[in-house]
Structure 1
Amino acid sequence: MEEYQKTSIRNWAIEDRPREKLIQKGIASLSNAELLAILIGSGSRKESAVELSRKILGDVRNNLNELGKSTIDALQKRYHGVGQAKAITIVAALELGRRRQLASPLEKPQIRKSEDVFALMSPALADLPHEEFWILVLNQANKVVTRFNISKGGIAGTVIDVRIIMEKALYQHASSIILCHNHPSGNRKPSQPDISITKKLAEAGKILDIHVLDHVIIAENHYFSFADEGIL
């Protein structure tokens, strides 16, 4: 028991524990052994999960392709502390990695003009009986990284918080954003609050170096673009 206490991950400095290290320093800072240790969770009475992982990887000369050839039965029989559940986890994780390599990356839609925004967001907003406010987060190539539903309101409006929008944009490392909301009334003309919040967000974006490219209002089968009208 004493030998295990010396090697247990619980006795390591917090910054050296794999899970804590991942959170504090990012996943790229972890070695293959540390990543494997996170998967198996625990070692044995004689060695920590990291030490067990180093042993497993050492037997395949730290080659993940070779480890990927291991069977559940072989892992269980060869390594003390690796039961069926841990062996299944290792095999499943490596198979998932193999499938990731085979998969084609999803093509991100690129925004070249306001019509692209309308085509992307109209299916979600055109027929709603209430207002919703969304933002599109774009990278440097004007491709949509993600989109967020910021708020939902009533027929006449919805509450917008500049801080929440910019926080989400910063978190996603946005190069620029596009604002988008709907008018259930079918009137595409922006209201004074629409104009006001657009100006506030544009000013906040200048300070944070996140350019607000457009604000598109969707009203049934047509739309209004602040950029097209020269308001931004």
Structure 2
Amino acid sequence: MHEKSSSFSIKNWSQDDQPREKLRDKGKDALSDAELVAILIGSGSKNESAVDLCKRILSSVDNNLNALGKLSIKQLMEFKGIGEAKAITIAAAMELGRRRRGEEALVQNKITSSVSVFELMQPILGELPHEEFWILYLNNSNKVIQKNQLSKGGITGTLVDVRLVLKNALEVGATGLILAHNHPSGTLKPSEADKKLTQKLKSASESLDIKVLDHLIVTEKAYFSFADENLL
């Protein structure tokens, strides 16, 4: 039985069909998404190659890697040929990609517009099923000194401690703040609570010569900027 299933391992494919060797010889850009995922899982089933299996998985999410990253271990295991170990490997790779994107945004951490804030915070907030509130602490060159999760709440809202925000701002020497939170519902319209909290933080910060530069509401694919909409 072992010998029969082993023929579907990538190492037994013809050299032209081996994605590992293709990556080695032609570079990672030469591989399709399905071939890259096939390298992760190593083998398919007795009736389907790893690449064909990965094509089927990707097809189920419209060939969207962001959507693939949202699949749970249980959902991945619903595909014939994907056991727990393979499902965990795929999920881990998707999470590494998400974290890399966040770190790349942080390297280019001078805030020049609301777009640069969105690029930094979307990998963190964009796909969460619950609401979180984050603060970016900036120096006088508008570079991010620190980014902190201030609170984590349910889908209906979250609690923000203004004193904690300002205490940390003084500790890190911040001269500017940018507020960011997500709306799991996908709506970009700020609530009255969002507006009141923004003004509360702005007023409290001004007494310490710290400016609230913006407040972003982040969803998976878009954002709302208080600064851009002249709500600050």
TM-score by length of 2: 0.54
Match of 2:102 in 1: none
Describe how 1:1-232 pairs up with structure 2 within 5 A: 107=107, 109-232=109-232
Task: Kindly state the Cα deviation for residue 219 of structure 1 after the two structures are TM-superposed.
Answer: 1.7
Measured in 2, the distance between the counterparts of 1:219 and 1:190 equals 12
Task: Kindly state the Cα deviation for residue 174 of structure 1 after the two structures are TM-superposed.
Answer: 0.3
Partner of 1:129, secondary structure, is: coil
Measured in 1, the distance between the counterparts of 2:181 and 2:154 equals 12
Measured in 2, the distance between the counterparts of 1:169 and 1:154 equals 26
Measured in 2, the distance between the counterparts of 1:219 and 1:201 equals 22
Aligned partners of 1:109 and 1:144 also within 8 Å: yes
Letter in 1 for 2:116: D
Pair 124,224 (structure 1): closer, same or farther in 2 beyond 3 Å: same
Letter in 2 for 1:198: T
Measured in 2, the distance between the counterparts of 1:230 and 1:222 equals 18
Measured in 1, the distance between the counterparts of 2:153 and 2:144 equals 25
Letter in 1 for 2:119: A
Aligned partners of 1:205 and 1:212 also within 8 Å: yes
Letter in 2 for 1:228: D
- Unaligned 5+ segments in structure 2 are 1-105
Pair 130,176 (structure 1): closer, same or farther in 2 beyond 3 Å: same
Measured in 1, the distance between the counterparts of 2:182 and 2:158 equals 10
Residues 98-132 of structure 1 deviation map (CA, whole Å, 9 limit, x = unaligned): xxxxxxxx956100100000000000100000000
Partner of 1:213, secondary structure, is: strand
Measured in 2, the distance between the counterparts of 1:193 and 1:175 equals 25
Number of equivalences:
127
Measured in 2, the distance between the counterparts of 1:120 and 1:193 equals 24
Aligned partners of 1:108 and 1:145 also within 8 Å: no
Match of 1:17 in 2: none
Match of 1:57 in 2: none
Partner of 1:193, secondary structure, is: helix
Task: Kindly state the Cα deviation for residue 209 of structure 1 after the two structures are TM-superposed.
Answer: 0.5
Q: Which has the larger radius of gyration?
A: 1
Letter in 1 for 2:177: I
Measured in 2, the distance between the counterparts of 1:158 and 1:107 equals 28
- Unaligned 5+ segments in structure 1 are 1-105
Measured in 2, the distance between the counterparts of 1:220 and 1:109 equals 20
Task: Kindly state the Cα deviation for residue 229 of structure 1 after the two structures are TM-superposed.
Answer: 0.2
Measured in 1, the distance between the counterparts of 2:207 and 2:120 equals 28
Task: Indicate the RMSD between aligned Cα atoms, in angstroms.
Answer: 1.2
Residues 44-89 of structure 1 deviation map (CA, whole Å, 9 limit, x = unaligned): xxxxxxxxxxxxxxxxxxxxxxxxxxxxxxxxxxxxxxxxxxxxxx
Aligned partners of 1:108 and 1:144 also within 8 Å: no
Measured in 2, the distance between the counterparts of 1:107 and 1:158 equals 28
Measured in 2, the distance between the counterparts of 1:108 and 1:219 equals 21
Aligned partners of 1:135 and 1:150 also within 8 Å: yes
Measured in 1, the distance between the counterparts of 2:145 and 2:195 equals 25
Measured in 2, the distance between the counterparts of 1:192 and 1:219 equals 18
Measured in 1, the distance between the counterparts of 2:228 and 2:108 equals 23
Residues 2-34 of structure 1 deviation map (CA, whole Å, 9 limit, x = unaligned): xxxxxxxxxxxxxxxxxxxxxxxxxxxxxxxxx
Task: Kindly state the Cα deviation for residue 161 of structure 1 after the two structures are TM-superposed.
Answer: 1.1
Letter in 2 for 1:152: K
